[in-house]
Amino acid sequence: MNTEIQRLIGHCQRLDTFIESQPSLWEQPIIQRFIKDEQHRKLIVSAICQPTPQNINQLNQAFYLFYGEMKLTSYMMKTLHWRAIRFDQQLKQNRARYPLIMDKPLTSDKSITFADSLIHVSTFNLEEKNLADLFPEKSFSFAFRHLTAHQEFVLTKRYKEGWTDTDIAKSLSISQQAVFKTRQKALDKIKTYTQRWRCD
């Protein structure tokens, strides 16, 4: 018998008898959570020891509200849980897709890829103002001109200055997911425009 039930014993014979006659009731998690609240225990004592319509109604209303809050909390927790799982799945899918994009050849002789350019960023002058200045290929300059200021900021912080998505999110007061989506769109745009440059 837990502490909360013990606190209900001794107020009146009617309540003690009720507790002893309904052992399965007090084992239910919802009831155990309900009686943890001191005010709820007082309502139980009043409703059973002095079973007036008013006391019974107050207990019923309190339990109804408590049960509704528990259901809502449970629903929210389950929703957040499944959304988190779906978000992780999307991240894994995107991470699986991007290596293909990063390994896409940027020149006709297939000697340079986007990933190669990022790996060799350290060979450029990191004091240059723009991220586009780090890449000598004209296709990159062409692509970077079509980025928004927001997209260029995210890519600059991520690939030039080595910030994490969390760092960028804090600096912009946005979510890490928003940073990831911005970076994803920017890389897609670069891929599109570098391909267009080669076709032209």
* 56-80: pLDDT as tens digits: 999 998 888 888 777 766 655 666 5
Task: Name the one residue in this structure whose structure tokens are 């943890």.
Answer: 36
- Contact, 59 vs 46, CB < 8 A? yes
Exposed/middle/buried for residue 34 (C-beta within 10 Å: 0-12, 13-18, 19+): buried
Spatial CA neighbour of 118 closest among 166, 56, 160? 160
**The whole model's pTM is what?**
0.42
Domain 103-199 -> CATH class = mainly alpha
45 or 127, greater pLDDT: 45
Give CA–CA dist 162/182, Å, rounded.
Answer: 16
CB under 8 Å to 148, separation ≥6 — which residues? none
Give the pLDDT mean for 115-123: 47
Q: Model confidence at 126, in pLDDT bands (50, 70, 90)? A: very low
List the domain boundaries for the chain: 3-75, 103-199
Structure tokens at 18: 């009720």
pLDDT (tens digit, 9 = 90+) per residue, 13-40? 999 999 899 888 888 888 988 898 889 9
Most confident of 6-10, 74-78, 127-131, 139-143: 6-10
CB 44 within 8 A of CB 81: no
